[in-house]
Each structure stands twice: as C-alpha cells, then as structure tokens.
A and B are shown apart, each in its own frame.
Chain A
Amino acid sequence: MRLLPTESIFELSFPSVATVASSAKPSEIECEVMRLFEQFRNPLLRYALSFGIPVHDAEEITQEVFLSLFRHLQLGKSRKNLRGWIFCVAHNHALKQRYANQRLRDRTASDWMIAERQVDPSPSPEDQISSTQRQRRLLAVVDALPNDDQSCLRLRAEGLRYREIAAVLNMSLGAVSISLTRSLARLMRADGR
C-alpha cells in the first residue's frame, strides 16, 4: 500500500494563491464542482469500491474528494488535469480507508467476492452463468496483480489516459504502459486469447 503526494504532483506550476483566489467567485466554483460531481461521481465511487472498502466509506470518500476540490479551486490552484487530481485524491483516501479498515480487522470484500454476490440480470441463465464465470476469472486475475497494476487497469477502465494515470499514481508514462501491457497480457491469457 502506498499513499501518493497529491500536492507534489499537481502543484508544480501553481500560480500565486493570493492573486488567483480573488479571480473566481465562490458561486462559480460551487457550480464547477457540482458539474464535476455529476461527471465523475460514479467513476470515483467505482474506483473507491474497487479497493474493497464498504459502500458508505466509498461515498464518504467521494464527498471528501469534491470538498477538497472546492478548496483546491478556491485557493486558485492549478486546473490542469483536474480529472487526474480528483482520482489521485480519491486514491489516497481509499488507500487510507482500506488501511484503517484493516486495522480494525474488518474483512474487506475483494472484487472477486463482489462478483460472487452480484449477478448480471440481463442475459439468459446459461449466458449468465458463463458470463459470471468469465467475469470471476478476469477479476481473479486482476486481484492477483500487484497493487499498482490493479490501479492502472482500473483507472484505464474508468477512461483515464496514460498520462493521467501516470499523474494519479505518481509513475512514469513508461511504467504505466509497461504495467498495462503486462496486465492485459495476463487477462488475455486467462481468457484463452
């Protein structure tokens, strides 16, 4: 487990706080945060849940992320790569929460266990069994990957570009592409491709 220094990644090119803080009205910032909430709430929740933390904790994390985003924008900090920024904050909170839960000896549910509980209602029963088994197989492969590889893959599944993933996980672009290449090769092998 590792937490990532959000500020160091995203604050390199920050302009002066005092000069920019006065340039945007709080009401505008509120609207902007709410817009981003509508856009990223579900992806963030999914990402937080993929750490195996309970739903209510994941929901708390998303709330905290958007409150942090509000403070970040209110201080006039960088708007560059805001999607990466909010995923990075969520990543840090989710790791922290998972660590806290482990310390309380709560059992965390892995994706594999989640997949066992969740059944896709749309396909026919035969297809459903086959699809669920395949899902379990894929998710079991992902669960067996190193933490960074899992995070790369999940962030990619949420639509983040390589550069954004690199910023969220504080990795180089090359490391992200190597990680994803490795993970996808394993997924393809597991799927008999």
Chain B
Amino acid sequence: MRSEGLHVSDQELLLAADGEFPSRRAAEVRSHLAACWDCRARMAEIEGAIVDFARSHRQTLDPMLPAVDGPRARLRAELAALTAESNANSWQRIFWSTSVVRAAAYVSFGLFAIVLAAKFLVQHSTQYGPNSAVIPFERGAGPDHGLTPGATRRVTTRDVCSMAHEDVVREVPTSLRQQVFREYGIANARADDYEIDYLIAPGLGGVEDIHNLWPEPYTSSMWNARVKDALEEHLHQLVCAGKVDLSTAQNDIATDWIAAYKKYFHTDRPLSLRSCLDSVTLLRSPRA
C-alpha cells in the first residue's frame, strides 16, 4: 500500500487528470508524477479502471440502442411544430404589446373583477347573518380559505420529488379528521361522503396541519375529491419534470384548485380519472 503522506492521493490524481487543479498545484502533481513510479502506476490503475468500466458500460448497453433514424425524424417534426407554435404566439405578443390594446384590456378586466366582487359580497351578506358564529360548510368544491389557507413545510423540488409514494399519499389520522369536521361544522359525517384532503398535497410540500386540511366532498357535482387527486398527481409530475416551479404549484393549488385544474389540464371541465392519467402520459407522447 502507498503511503499517502509521501504520495499524491487517489483523489488528487483524479482531479489532476481532469484538469481541476489550479496551475501551481497541477505543476506540483506533474512534477511528482514524473519522479514517482508508485504514483504513475497508481494513476495508470485508476485510469484503467475507468476505461474498463466505460467499456463494460457501453458493451452491455449499446446493443440495446434502437436505430437513430426514427427518433431523429420524430424530433425534427416535433421541433418544426414547436417553431410554428412559437411563431404564432409571437404575433399574439406583438398584439398585446400595443399599449392601447393592453390598457383597454386592463380596464375591462378591472371592471369585471369589481362586478364579480360586488356580486359575491351581496350573495354572502344575505346568506349569513352578521351574528353567525360559525359559517356552515357549503357542500361545494372549494375550502373555506379562512379555515384552510394552506400550509407548507420548507422543501425543495428535490425533496418533494424524492418522497416515497406512501409519503405522497399519506392518510390523515382519525383524530385530526374529526377536528377538521368540527371546524367546518359538519356533524355525523360519513367516511365515504368526504375525503379529508390536503389543500396543498404532501407531494407538493403541504403539511399535515389543520390549516391545510379540509373536508372535500366525494359527492359534489363535478369538482370532487377524485378530480383534485388527479390534479395533485399531475402537478407533482410537472414539478418533478421541471415544467412548473414548486412555489407556483403550491400557490395555484392553494388559491383556487379548480382554476389550477383548468390551467394545467387545459380544460374547462374535469376529465374522468382515466382520461386524466392518459393525459399525463400524453405529455411525453409524440404529437399527432
């Protein structure tokens, strides 16, 4: 065995071979190698090991590689389609960059938002009296954001994407479920009527906290718990594929998960569960 004190370590030999040392240290290593047969032999062994592994790696995998012609043609066609799409979008950008058009659009949007807000306030002021202590849970699809604003832990994309499946689809403990029902004023809830769901799913960094849990009806019209599950799965995949920023995904799903569903599935109505899974697969499939 070589004495590391007298010789260049394996790690330094590797770094030197890859040109990762500053010039002074690189010159020292070169000088040492010129005079030390032990280190030169060691260097040859290390390089031999890399070469042998690279050869094995290629010999085992190369026979499996399909011919390049088909994938090349497919990529060329996909790129042409993306370029065409991009050119079409650039016309839209030019249109929107016209200041008059943009100003008119902002004004219209502002008016529309004011009308919507007024309508919402009128509806709610007549529905619940001013002295109502607990607002009854409407059997709708969205959470009460006062009770369930959403809560996350400090995570990175890498953290959420490396989570085990059982952590992504974690069950809520019974005691916490009951607490959520109480908070939403739901008495005698049947287990198959609601899913106590995470507003921000664990797979997106959401935590098991009363502020991130709400009773989501399985039975509500079309925006039900199963539809939201599909969105969570889809968003998780988009985040892990680097297509959507984690904080954007968290914000979108916490603000309005139905709007997020429409945005990320490009649809106005929920796809069936089967269709959702298909569409996720299609993300990676060739365009027709």
Contacts and interface: CB of A to CB of B under 8 A. Distances in A.
Interface of A: 1-8, 26-27, 29-30, 33-34, 37-38, 41-42, 45-46, 49-50, 55, 59-60, 62-64, 66-68, 70-71, 74, 89, 92-93, 95-96, 99, 103, 111, 114-115, 118, 120, 134-135, 138-139, 142, 153-154, 156-157, 161-163, 170, 173, 177-178, 180-181, 184-185, 187-188, 191, 193
B11 A27 contact: no
Contacts of A95: 161
Tell me if B's interface is mostly helix, strand, loop or mixed: helix
Interface of B: 9-11, 14-15, 18-20, 45-46, 48-50, 52-54, 56-66, 68, 71-72, 74-76, 78-80, 82-83, 86-87, 156-158, 161-162, 165, 237, 240-242, 245, 284-286
B162 A26 contact: no
Tell me if A's interface is mostly helix, strand, loop or mixed: helix
B65 A33 contact: no
Contacts of A66: 75, 79
Nearest to B13: A181
A180 B49 CA distance: 11
A158 to B, nearest CB: 8
A154 B57 contact: yes
A171 to B, nearest CB: 12
6 contacts: A3-B158, A5-B158, A34-B75, A63-B74, A177-B20, A193-B49
B236 to A, nearest CB: 10
Contacts of B14: 162, 177, 180-181, 184
Given A41-B71, A71-B82, A118-B64, A2 B50 contact: no
Contacts of B61: 45-46, 49-50, 114
Contacts, number: 164
Given A5-B157, A55-B66, A74 B86 contact: yes
When A and B form their complex, which 8 residue pairs have the shortest distance between CB atoms, in order from nearest?
A3-B161, A2-B162, A157-B54, A26-B83, A157-B57, A46-B61, A135-B56, A5-B157
